[in-house]
Chain A
Amino acid sequence: MSRDEIKDVLLEIIADIDEEADFAGLDADAPLRDQLELDSMDFLDIVMELRKRYKLQIPEEEYPQLATLTSCINYLEPKLQTV
């Protein structure tokens, strides 16, 4: 998967989790949680959805690497290479 495709998947997952998610003006390098007012429960859903779709196991200690859109893409790029 390309970086752009990963980005699209992430935004699609977030939009599915939160019907009110507003991506206008989203800064890819600032924390997603603050910008989208997500909490730890929503965050778990992103992880669970990635697991469901791509059988990805993301250990809890690596959650901080999913803080921003850019860091998510950096983290997922090697893992989704063959998808």
Chain B
Amino acid sequence: MAAYQLLIIGGGLSGIAAGIRAARFGLNTLILEQHHRPGGLNSYYLRQGRLLETGLHAMTNFAPPGVKQAPLNRLFRQLHLSRQRFAVHEQLGSEIRFAGRSLRFTNEIALLEEEIAREFPEAIDRFRRLRSAIAACDPFAAAPWRSTRQFLDQHLRHPLLADMLLLPLMIYGNAEEHDMDLGQFVIMFRAIFEEGFFRPGGTMREFLDLLARQFREFGGELRCRCPVAAIETDGDRVVGARLESGEVVAADTVLSTAGLPETMRLAGWAGDRDRYAGRMSFMETISFVPRAAAPALIPDQTIVFYHHGPRFDYRRPEDYLDTSWGVICFPGNFSGLPPEDAVQIRVTNAASYPLWRGLAAEDYGPVKERWTQAAIAASEEIVGNYRPSIVYQDSFTPVTIERFTRKAQGAVYGSGIKLRDGVTPWTNLFIAGTDQGYLGIVGAMLSGVTIVNQHVLR
């Protein structure tokens, strides 16, 4: 018998959630994480005494306790965590801003409807019918790829409104360029507009501690600083993993959350890895500004999605960064959070992985500095000037993301082609996480849960 019944590659949210499920029902489970702490795309780091989160702007899928079928609450039951004792902070309010046009929304979709009625009275009836059409969709039923753009053209017949609705849904959860699978659109529409944004009480550190503690309490083992060098195979089965240290860990079943291209590389899985590398990556620019100097907009906005230009096209930019559209997030602006001395402003813009990757070592720093300034300048047009007041600034690029998370090409939403059933050419190797297809924090965790339920527990 192998040392472990289940070996999970990657201590991100999908990996830990998968581990909790397996360990809860008595499987001897090991999670291997390459980094010195878990979290993957949603981790944190410390700089000058500040804790900076890597991925989190907000969690989606807000639901109060008691709504039993809500994804968030189903997830908590599956992880055997108390939803009632989990403190959450809802968003104050967010805004989608296109040239001269604005739609505000909160976790009450009635506000979005009012805003559409005000800004686009000609389209409000069609928007209401669109909501009914979305409510009638089952995004989890197996279905061929369908174009969201076509679906919106047909239901809204309003390109500007369609673009405005798509911006937050794409930027927070679309791996494909230009268009989006209808199933994914429906999932994201519900997650963001019907349910909404919130933050857990505390930081990502406390949230990860909660999950890691639960995993260990069920008897699971989490080893950090253990990069996997290869998945060992024998015919149509995998037998375990070889670490970069040379150690070999044998396991009955292996679950990889490293993404499709990286899993292909580790297992020697023949195929075109580039085909499965997502093209959407981002640069994140984080600034801290003293509260006294914070721009006027900051007190009541949580997230602003902005776009300048004629049509919104979600794609990898031709330059290092595309600052003509993006997200500006104020992680301190959630209901009930104590005011902090320094306000944090996070700006996210689409970035071109190949250009960042191609930079010579001596050019990387100056180029990053130049684009950091460009991202800040673009966000100042939306929220007001804050650059002179910045007391601390940091940014990360697609190259940083790839290095810390192994997501090929820094594609935070993974491959444009998803492997919904998690099945690979090896009978006991499965895929969970980003490239299985459920995205975001709640989605990633449900991905780990679902794949373990389907393939490991029964």
Q: Which residues of A contact B (CB under 8 A)?
A: 16-20, 37-39, 41-42, 44-45, 48-49, 51-52, 60
B86 to chain A, nearest CB (A): 11
- Interface size of B by CB at 8 A reads 18
Chain A residues within an 8 Å CB radius of B66: 20
B265 proximal to A (CB < 8 A): no
Q: Which of A16, A19, A45, A49 contacts B84 (CB 8 A)?
A: A19
**A37–B26 contact, CB under 8 A?**
no
Using an 8 Å CB-CB cutoff, how does the interface string of B279-323 with A read, 1 for contact, 0 for none? Answer: 000000000000000000000000000000000000000000000
Chain A residues within an 8 Å CB radius of B84: 19-20
B183 to chain A, nearest CB (A): 19
B75 to chain A, nearest CB (A): 9
**A45–B78 contact, CB under 8 A?**
yes
**Contacts A19-B84, A20-B66; A41 near B449 (Cβ below 8 A):** yes
Identify whether the interface residues of B are mostly helix, strand, loop, or mixed: loop
**B68–A20 contact, CB under 8 A?**
yes
Chain A residues within an 8 Å CB radius of B78: 41, 45
**A19–B449 contact, CB under 8 A?**
no
Chain B residues within an 8 Å CB radius of A18: 68, 77
Chain B residues within an 8 Å CB radius of A45: 77-78
Q: Which of B68, B77, B449, B457 contacts A48 (CB 8 A)?
A: B457
B83 proximal to A (CB < 8 A): yes
**A51–B83 contact, CB under 8 A?**
no
Instruction: List the 7 closest pairs (A to B, CB-CB), nearest first.
Output: A37-B68, A48-B25, A52-B26, A52-B25, A41-B78, A44-B453, A19-B82
A to B CB contacts below 8 Å, 29 in the list: A16-B80, A17-B77, A18-B68, A18-B77, A19-B83, A19-B84, A20-B65, A20-B68, A20-B84, A37-B68, A38-B68, A39-B68, A39-B69, A41-B77, A41-B78, A41-B449, A41-B453, A42-B74, A42-B77, A44-B453, A44-B457, A45-B77, A45-B78, A48-B24, A48-B457, A49-B25, A52-B25, A52-B26, A60-B458
Q: Which residues of B contact A (CB under 8 A)?
A: 24-26, 65-66, 68-69, 74, 77-78, 80, 82-84, 449, 453, 457-458
B175 to chain A, nearest CB (A): 25
Chain A residues within an 8 Å CB radius of B26: 52
A33 to chain B, nearest CB (A): 11
Closest chain B residue to A20 by CB distance? B66
Chain B residues within an 8 Å CB radius of A37: 68-69
**B74–A39 contact, CB under 8 A?**
yes
B32 to chain A, nearest CB (A): 24
Identify whether the interface residues of A are mostly helix, strand, loop, or mixed: helix
A59 to chain B, nearest CB (A): 9
CA distance A54 to B453 in the complex (A): 20
Closest chain B residue to A60 by CB distance? B458
CA distance A42 to B74 in the complex (A): 8
Most buried by A among B65, B69, B77: B77
Most buried by B among A18, A42, A45: A45
List 10 extra interface pairs beyond A37-B69, A42-B74, A52-B26, CB under 8 A. A20-B65, A20-B66, A39-B68, A39-B74, A41-B74, A42-B77, A44-B458, A48-B24, A48-B25, A49-B25
B309 to chain A, nearest CB (A): 43
Chain B residues within an 8 Å CB radius of A20: 65-66, 68, 84
Chain A residues within an 8 Å CB radius of B457: 44, 48
A28 to chain B, nearest CB (A): 21
CA distance A51 to B69 in the complex (A): 25
Chain B residues within an 8 Å CB radius of A49: 25
Chain A residues within an 8 Å CB radius of B453: 41, 44
Closest chain A residue to B67 by CB distance? A37
Chain A residues within an 8 Å CB radius of B65: 20
CA distance A41 to B69 in the complex (A): 11
CA distance A39 to B74 in the complex (A): 8
B181 to chain A, nearest CB (A): 23
A54 to chain B, nearest CB (A): 13
Closest chain A residue to B458 by CB distance? A60
CA distance A51 to B458 in the complex (A): 10
Chain B residues within an 8 Å CB radius of A41: 74, 77-78, 449, 453
CA distance A60 to B458 in the complex (A): 8
CA distance A45 to B78 in the complex (A): 8
